[in-house]
Amino acid sequence: MKRLSAPPTPPPFGTDAVNVLRYILFAKTPMSAEGNGNGSSYARVILQQCLSARLMVQPATESEDAEYVQIGRGLIVYVCFLKGASETMIDKMVKSVLEARLSEPTDGGRLVSILDLPGDVMIIPQATLGGSLKGKVMQYHGNVQKDDGLRLYTQFVEKCEKTVAIANVKTGQNSIVRYGTYGNRQVFSTETNGPYTHYIEF
Amino acid sequence: MKRLSAPPTPPPFGTDAVNVLRYILFAKTPMSAEGNGNGSSYARVILQQCLSARLMVQPATESEDAEYVQIGRGLIVYVCFLKGASETMIDKMVKSVLEARLSEPTDGGRLVSILDLPGDVMIIPQATLGGSLKGKVMQYHGNVQKDDGLRLYTQFVEKCEKTVAIANVKTGQNSIVRYGTYGNRQVFSTETNGPYTHYIEF
């Protein structure tokens, strides 16, 4: 959970073992002093299986209808970047998401990756995932700045597209990647045969 | 994130400051020695807003059709209990979930809780949420035993039902709580105007 991270700040102690122990016992994590308030993870991803999914990518205007994208059987990927996230994480994130063996093949055998299924991918930017509940209010102090978030999201989408395109050549299938518009309201519907929701921190 | 927990095991050191520092720098969390492999949280919840949702609670048999429950505008609550979870957590969890101000009132004003919206609640048991990705394989070693999970899930559902019933008396509305069958495949579909996905650990 703490990969790609700079070493944490040493605790505020000299050689006083009591202080050290106090630090260990009561510090939220060893990195809390300089973390982003989210346990020093830099991205959060939620994965769900679907039979179909549909997402608005452009709201309606006075002159035009709303635009939607949709996928068939596949994987829904909600993604949120937190403070400290960097592009060096993207390859590993995409690899984890697309190679994790979480999809049920039609013949009911062992779980396979979405690339091996093969299936479609829908990526949904979801800044709310970075929230941290304080009392009754959700706070988003840990979220990455919006322009950094857009840059990382774009890289994540592009890497997913490339990876699926390469897999398509191998499988001879034509799996698609669709994705939401960063910063938009993600008007969304899905049908599942069991979402098998998974949560991954990077 | 580490409430309701026994104090962590002190690190394996005598008075050797180098060992202490090594422990602090490289231990995943101060509690990793005795944790459940999930950063010592005891439950994971994902919240999503919906316009409607539909869930299978009884699969079809030879003689009978599948049974479904559904809700209108409201909150979807995916819940998973991890090792170390206990019933003393339930009240706090339900309070957090039902009182968190995450729902958009129809008039577009400040976010309110699902109780204040008021809206429906759909609870979905989701053991997969306890998973931890190791390489390409998801492991569920941190999950609570199945019978404990069923007991906690049942208590969680009952407390939600009671809390919504009390709120209904106050608001004069008739918001409903619907929930999935523990251990079943959660065949599920939803329509949202933006899921505003949130993740909470207890």
Quick one: CA dihedral A31, B11, B129, B165, positive or negative?
Answer: negative
What whole-number distance in Å separates Cα of residue A107 and Cα of residue A76?
A: 21
Nearest CA in chain B to A78: B197
Mind telling me how many Å the CA of A151 is from chain B's nearest CA? 21
Longest dimension (CA), chain A: 70
Nearest CA in chain B to A14: B17
CB-based contact B138 A101, cutoff 8 Å: yes
What whole-number distance in Å separates Cα of residue B12 and Cα of residue A10?
A: 18
List CB contacts (< 8 A) between B46 and chain A: 46, 197, 199
The pLDDT assigned to B104 comes to: 96
Mind telling me how many Å the CA of B172 is from chain A's nearest CA? 23
Instruction: Report the side by side order of strands in the sheet with A188-192.
Output: A67-71, A52-58, A188-192, B188-192, B52-58, B67-71
Q: A72-88 pLDDT, tens per residue?
A: 999 999 999 999 999 99
What whole-number distance in Å separates Cα of residue B4 and Cα of residue B127?
A: 21
Mind telling me how many Å the CA of B193 is from chain A's nearest CA? 4
What whole-number distance in Å separates Cα of residue A106 and Cα of residue B103?
A: 37
CB-based contact B185 A193, cutoff 8 Å: yes
Mean pLDDT of the residues in chain B: 87
CB-based contact A192 B189, cutoff 8 Å: yes
| pLDDT of A11 above 50 | no
CB-based contact B21 A30, cutoff 8 Å: no
Q: A128-182 pLDDT, tens per residue?
A: 999 999 999 999 999 999 999 999 999 999 999 999 999 999 999 999 999 999 9
* Bigger pLDDT: B34 vs B158: B158
Q: Which residues of A24-50 are buried (b: 16+ CB within 10 A; e: fewer)?
A: beebebbbeeebbbbbbbbbbbbbbbb
List CB contacts (< 8 A) between A115 and chain B: none
- Mean pLDDT for B138-158 is 98
